[in-house]
Copies of this chain bind each other. A is one copy, B any other.
């Protein structure tokens, strides 16, 4: 291997996802796959809020198996905004089983940046 030292171990990034269109959903998957293929040890969190929630509800998730594979294979955490959940009259039980929650999406995105994580707004 030519790059034995950068497995991505020390890289941390939080993605924000608010889109609900299919091209943006596919782009998010693609972003995650490309990144984790390149830096398999990177620590990644995706915060879904607003219309972005449709990507991770059992009712609407378009690509649940792809997400599950990524979550189980890498240091990837998917979380939904608690305010968004309540706004949609949903509970944790309506989310894909490997998806967590955070109280407030924007606060989570701020906190992660304060802790030194890079930030990426996903979606087209």
| Residue positions of A touching B, CB distance < 8 A | 8, 11, 13, 16, 18-19, 23, 27, 30-31, 34-35, 38-39, 42, 50-51, 81, 83, 103-107, 109-111, 113-114, 118-121, 124
Number of copies: 3
Question: A118 touching B113 by the CB < 8 A rule?
Answer: yes
On chain B, the residues within 8 Å of A39 by CB distance are: 107
Q: Is the CB of A19 within 8 A of B104?
A: no
Give the residues in chain B near A114, CB-CB below 8 Å.
11, 118
Contacts of A31 in B (CB 8 A): 105-106
Instruction: List 14 A-B residue pairs with CB atoms under 8 Å apart, sorted by A's residue number.
Output: A11-B107, A16-B120, A16-B121, A19-B124, A27-B50, A31-B106, A34-B83, A34-B106, A35-B104, A106-B120, A109-B118, A110-B118, A113-B118, A113-B119
